[in-house]
């Protein structure tokens, strides 16, 4: 019985330790996010923002994520068109295929694909870069010289990720919708006029606004998590690899939770109506 009690006590202590670690990580992420926002506004207003670093990061993030985004968007549009077209044909509602495809791509597909690309491609690159700088003690050198790593490294990456996420969402939406249009109209499932007419009737400008808002939130969360993991990496190359893995996993989880919350709030606050 004593061994069972010791095991139970050990399990409780481990749970409390993990809970404490989670709370501390959440606090550090919040502080990093607030500090990044503060430096963004103050540096831009004071005209001391590192625009050169911002442009370099925009170029890098675009090179890393643009081609994978297009390659993912095409099969995504094919899958949506095939699945929705099959169900619509069974219930005799092929004329509404354009509406369902457009709503699915704009409200869910484009932001979700963008979030995965930002967390996987861009986020891992950010974590590995900052993690390598951390283990080489470059971050400590900046602090010794009185330079804030958040101001010099995190803030430009944050603004660049927001811009890239905003534009990637448009690319994903356009690519997926064009692919779905070609699959349905080109395959003879529905006429071009019916497809576009149903899409225009059921889609609203707020759908695109919400999609872009999701993209900005996803980009912000991903960069905060990845920068935090990179700046706290330790243990040499293995520590950097572990930080990249943790950053990607945690980013995907947070983005999934944020997507559910934003979608549910949008559905509750904005009733869907036919134009």
pLDDT digits (tens, 9 = 90+) for 58-80: 888 888 888 888 888 888 777 77
- pLDDT, residue 188, reads 67
Cβ atoms < 10 Å from Cβ of 36? 21
- Under the banding of pLDDT at 50, 70 and 90, the label for residue 142 is confident
CA distance 166 to 217: 10
User: DSSP character for 232?
Assistant: T
Contacting residues for 190 by C-beta, under 8 A, at least 6 apart: 85, 94, 95, 97, 98, 184
CA distance 262 to 259: 5
Q: Pick 164 or 88 by higher pLDDT.
A: 164
Q: Where do the H-state alpha helices sit in the chain? A: 2-45, 51-91, 97-104, 110-117, 123-135, 138-144, 149, 155-186, 192-202, 205-231, 236-269
C-alpha torsion 58→231→241→19, nearest 10: -120
pLDDT digits (tens, 9 = 90+) for 157-193: 889 988 888 888 888 888 888 887 787 777 666 777 7
Question: Is residue 28 one of the residues assigned to a domain?
Answer: no
Q: How far is CA 81 from CA 63, 89, 124, 136, 239, in A?
A: 28, 12, 31, 49, 43
Structure tokens at 230: 């990179």
Q: Tell me the residue range of the domain where 203 lies.
A: 50-269
Cβ atoms < 10 Å from Cβ of 12? 10
Three-state secondary structure call for residue 273 = coil
Kindly report the pTM of this predicted structure. Answer: 0.83
Q: Pick 45 or 5 by higher pLDDT.
A: 45
Tell me how many domains the chain contains: 1
Res 221 pLDDT > 70: yes
- pLDDT, residue 72, reads 82
Question: Is residue 8 one of the residues assigned to a domain?
Answer: no
């Amino acid at each position: 019985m004593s061994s069972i009690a010791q095991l139970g006590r050990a399990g409780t202590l481990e749970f409390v330790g993990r809970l404490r670690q989670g709370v501390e990580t959440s606090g550090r992420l919040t502080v990093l996010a607030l500090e990044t926002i503060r430096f963004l506004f103050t540096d831009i207003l004071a005209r001391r923002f590192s625009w050169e670093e911002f442009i370099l990061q925009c170029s890098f993030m675009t090179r890393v994520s643009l081609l994978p985004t297009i390659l993912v968007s095409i099969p995504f549009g094919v899958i949506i068109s095939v699945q929705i077209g099959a169900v619509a044909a069974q219930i005799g509602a092929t004329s509404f295929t354009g509406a369902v495809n457009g709503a699915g791509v704009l409200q869910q597909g484009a932001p979700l694909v963008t979030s995965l690309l930002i967390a996987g491609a861009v986020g891992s690159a950010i974590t590995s870069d900052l993690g390598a700088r951390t283990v080489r003690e470059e971050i400590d050198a900046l602090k010794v010289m009185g330079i804030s790593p958040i101001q010099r490294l995190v803030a430009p990456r944050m603004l660049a990720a927001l811009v890239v996420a905003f534009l990637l969402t448009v690319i994903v939406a356009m690519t997926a919708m064009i692919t779905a249009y070609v699959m349905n109209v080109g395959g003879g499932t529905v006429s071009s006029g019916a497809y576009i007419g149903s899409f225009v009737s059921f889609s609203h400008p707020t759908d695109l606004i919400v999609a872009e808002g999701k993209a900005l939130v996803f980009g912000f969360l991903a960069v905060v998590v990845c920068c935090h993991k990179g700046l706290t990496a330790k243990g040499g190359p293995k520590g950097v690899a572990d930080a990249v893995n943790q950053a990607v996993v945690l980013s995907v989880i947070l983005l999934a939770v944020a997507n559910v919350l934003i979608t549910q709030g949008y559905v509750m606050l904005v009733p869907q109506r036919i134009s």
